[in-house]
Amino acid sequence: MYGENRQNQSMLRVLIAEDDLATRKLLETYLIKWGYDPLSVCDGEQAWEALQSENPTRLLLLDWMMPGMDGLSLC
């Protein structure tokens, strides 16, 4: 059902910025299951660097509170 229309499309990249490893892995698992291409980082600085890359990310899942740059600052 979820992946039927995505078979002929390239997978949508989703950036996950989450400092809790268990939560980050859980989000990755579900996103892969639903046909997305997750890219995981553990803080806002790494997320900012990933957003500057040539491979664009169209959807962000940001933790509100992370060490260094938090999700709100990243927005």
State residue 5's pLDDT score: 53
Domains of the chain listed by start with CATH number: 4-68 (3.40.50.2300)
Q: How far is CA 34 from CA 4, 37, 38, in A?
A: 10, 9, 11
Closest residue by Cα to residue 57 from 66, 49, 65: 49
State residue 23's pLDDT score: 96
pTM of the model: 0.80
Measured distance CA(35)–CA(70) in Å, rounded: 27
Per-residue burial over 27-51, b = 16 or more CB atoms within 10 Å of its CB, e = otherwise: bbeebeeeebebbbbbbbebbeebe
Which regions of the chain are under pLDDT 70? 1-9
